[in-house]
Amino acid sequence: MKTIREAAEEFGVTTRAIRYYEELGMLKPERTASNTRMFSNAEIAKLKLIDRGKKYGFTLEEIKEMVLLFDVDRSGKKQLERTIEYGKKQIEEMERRIEELEKTKQEMESLLGEFNEKLSKLKGMGK
């Protein structure tokens, strides 16, 4: 069992972020008699999924769905199917962004080439 502070430190997030995930229904920590949140291994695993989902650009709604699917289907099959579906969609989006960046890079390289040529001509005129 870990406290909210320990969980936050482990994942490099704020305690406020963890409380927000709890508000969204993604986490359900146990409470001590003094109302301290305590996170079991299962809740830490959910927090790890949330952290990983954010890292890979999934929306909080997508992450929530994937996290909560395990509570519905303990075999993990539905969760894996949905994760694969969202993962493929995310890869398609990454590929689209990579293409855009490659195009922008080529345009910038072309412009820099033109600017260097122009600068060389201007330097030649100044001599």
Asked if residues 15 and 8 have their Cβ atoms less than 8 Å apart, the reply is yes
- pLDDT tens, position by position, 42-101: 999 999 999 999 999 999 999 999 888 877 877 888 888 988 999 999 999 999 999 999
Q: Supply the pTM of this predicted model.
A: 0.72
Query: Quick one: tokens of 2?
Result: 């870990």
Asked if residues 41 and 48 have their Cβ atoms less than 8 Å apart, the reply is no
